[in-house]
Amino acid sequence: MSTSSCVFDFRDSTVLVTGASGGLGAGICRVFAEAGARLAIHYHSGRERAEALAATLPHPERHILVCAEAGDESSVAACVERVAEVLEGDHLDVLINNAGIYPVAPLEKITEASWREVLDASLTAAHLFTRSALRLMGSGSSIVNVASIEAYRPAAGHAHYAAAKAALIQYTKSTALELGPKGIRANSVSPGLVWREGLEEAWPEGYRRYVQVAPLGRTALPEEVGAACLFLASGAASFITGADLAVDGGTSVVAAQDLFRPV
């Protein structure tokens, strides 16, 4: 395998990013677009944000927008069919399962409906997109699922979210096991707190406490998580599958009670 910069050249690659209209998804899209990839930018309700994102990417004419309710089987299938039409016989090289939601609720107030909503958005969606996209993928294709450090160290108020992300990591490992013989790799990334516009104002005390105890003294930028996804999808990670990569600035080694307080 070449160790030159060509392993990060995605000019001949098509990448589907789910949940791309949000801050983290947009950062992932920017990283892959700057590496030359043609993007299928998935959104559910944020079409205006997805359009604005696509317009700012290198070679905006190359990218397409695809809409789907991430936890709905028929909606996802239709979304992937749209990608297939654009590919015109080519392979889908990379699937980034980033769709998800992040509500906060005490355990005793998590209803069945809210529990299912979180699991559908953060776990079921990854399965539906993976299963539907497999017919477009082949040897050399790669799947990267966006999990969370809360899969290992949950915070109070996030029982449904932490459970979904922990399951997503095991789903990733199962995917790697089953698809390895086909030459398809599957890995996950587990970000810590990721910066978004307005975060400091919306969660001032939590943000201050987090950056104070984080070894690198700050939150992640969306593009830094995107760079980890790019690495795992690239030839530089050609012998890595079934792995989970923490992208948390070292917060995994900090005591959980120092990072979070009960809701």
Q: What is the DSSP string of the chain?
A: ---SGGGG--TT-EEEETTTTSHHHHHHHHHHHHTT-EEEEEESS-HHHHHHHHHHSSSGGG-EEEE--TT-HHHHHHHHHHHHHHHTTPPP-EEEE---------GGG--HHHHHHHHIIIIIHHHHHHHHHGGG--TT-EEEEE--GGGTSPPTT-HHHHHHHHHHHHHHHHHHHHHGGGT-EEEEEEE--B--TTHHHHSHHHHHHHHHHSTTSSPBPHHHHHHHHHHHHSGGGTT--S-EEEESTTGGGS-HHHH----
User: Does the annotation count 207 as an active-site position?
Assistant: no
Amino acid at 248: D
Q: Say which residue the tokens 């990854």 belong to.
A: 126
User: What per-residue string of b and e applies to 77-89 under the rule 16 or more CB within 10 Å gives b?
Assistant: eebbebbbeebee
User: Can you give the pLDDT of all 263 residues of the chain as single tens digits?
Assistant: 445 567 899 999 999 999 998 899 999 999 999 999 999 999 998 899 999 999 999 999 999 999 999 889 999 999 999 999 998 778 999 999 999 988 889 999 999 999 999 999 999 999 999 999 999 999 999 999 999 999 998 888 889 999 999 999 999 999 999 999 999 999 999 999 898 787 788 777 878 888 888 899 998 999 999 999 999 999 999 999 999 999 999 988 876 556 555 44
Q: Are 40 and 28 in contact (CB under 8 A)?
A: no
Of 161, 171, 207, 210, the active-site residue reads: 161
**pLDDT for the residue numbered 257:** 56
**pLDDT for the residue numbered 182:** 97
**pLDDT for the residue numbered 254:** 79
Cα–Cα distance between 260 and 209 in angstroms, integer?
Answer: 8
